[in-house]
Amino acid sequence: MRIIVYFLLSMLIGIIDAYTQETETKTKQTTTSSISISVDDDTGFVEKSRTYFSISDSDDTYRVRSDFHKSKTTKIRSYLAEELGTEYMTASGSRQKWKREYGGDTGYEVRLDEGTLKIYLDKELLSSGMVNKFKTITRNIKNYASGKSEEKRLEEQQKREAEQVQREAQQAQREAERLQRKAEQKIREAEHLQREAERLKREAQKKKDS
Give the angle 34-36-41 at the CA atoms, nearest 5°.
Answer: 130
201 and 139 in a single domain? The answer is no
Question: Both 111 and 34 in a single domain?
Answer: yes
Q: What is the pLDDT of residues 150-186, one digit of tens each?
A: 566 677 778 888 888 999 999 999 999 999 999 999 9
- 89-92 sheet: strands from edge to edge: 28-40, 46-58, 61-67, 116-122, 105-113, 95-102, 89-92
Range name among 30-34, 149-153, 198-202 with the lowest pLDDT average = 30-34
Domain for residue 151, yes or no? no
pLDDT band at 103 (very low <50, low <70, confident <90, very high): very high
- Shared domain for 83 and 121, answered yes or no, is yes
Note down the domain range covering 62.
18-146
pLDDT band at residue 61, thresholds of 50, 70 and 90?
very high
pLDDT (average), residues 190-196: 91
Q: How many domains does the chain have?
A: 2
Neighbours of 15 (CB within 10 A): 10
pLDDT of 11 above 80: no
